């Protein structure tokens, strides 16, 4: 159960070991104990580009999931891989959503991680209402089992420029 983490942000402190451990627990509880996961934290501009390119929606979003379980190789054949896929999370969007919902950034990050991993496992809340309810139940179960959420992100205060 390997997690490859990439953090492309410097504004906030991310405790990467704790985030990797959390992702490993999510994989285990999702029934993907032997799978590998690529996890990336990015900013809103990059997330908007990815969302525009892959979902044709020209706006930022909180999380995107790119499954790779069934990879297509150059000769057109499918190839089974241990890499479940990529979960990409916009940390600035997660911070805004956490504030709006009255929860910690760590909780919001855990929610988005679980949501992304379940998408990689084949859950799709956009398919129909039945699938949305199924995915929501699974999310709640996993979130309950990984609680308490460890402290992962420390927000750094913006520097204020004083006019004299």
What pLDDT digit, counting tens, does each position of 86-144 carry? Answer: 999 999 999 999 999 999 999 999 999 999 999 999 999 989 999 999 999 999 999 99
Residue 159 has pLDDT above 60, yes or no: no
For position 80, what pLDDT does the model report? 64
Domains of the chain: 3-149 (3.40.390.30)
Neighbour-count burial of 59, counting CB atoms closer than 10 A to its CB (0-12 exposed, 13-18 middle, 19+ buried): exposed
Three-state SS at 2:
coil
- Measured between alpha carbons, how far is 124 from 149 in angstroms, rounded to an integer? 24
The candidate with the shortest Cα–Cα distance to 35, out of 85, 82, 79, 80, is: 82
pTM over 0.75: yes
Residue 35 has pLDDT above 60, yes or no: yes
Mean pLDDT of the chain: 90
In terms of pLDDT, which residue wins out, 80 or 60?
Answer: 60
């Amino acid at each position: 159960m390997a997690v490859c983490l990439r953090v492309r942000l410097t504004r906030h402190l991310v405790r990467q070991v704790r985030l990797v451990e959390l992702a490993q627990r999510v994989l285990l509880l999702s029934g993907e104990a032997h799978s590998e996961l690529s996890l990336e934290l990015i900013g809103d501009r990059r997330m908007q580009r990815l969302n525009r390119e892959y979902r044709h929606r020209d706006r930022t979003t909180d999380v995107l999931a790119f499954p790779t379980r069934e990879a297509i190789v150059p000769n057109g054949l499918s190839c089974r891989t241990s890499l479940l896929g990529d979960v990409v999370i916009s940390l600035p969007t997660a911070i805004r959503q956490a504030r709006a919902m009255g929860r910690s950034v760590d909780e919001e990050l855990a929610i988005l991680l679980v949501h992304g991993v379940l998408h990689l496992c084949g859950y799709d809340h956009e398919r129909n209402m039945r699938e949305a309810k199924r995915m929501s139940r699974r999310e709640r179960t996993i979130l309950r089992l990984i609680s308490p959420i460890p402290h992962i992100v420390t927000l750094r205060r913006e520097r204020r420029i004083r006019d004299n």
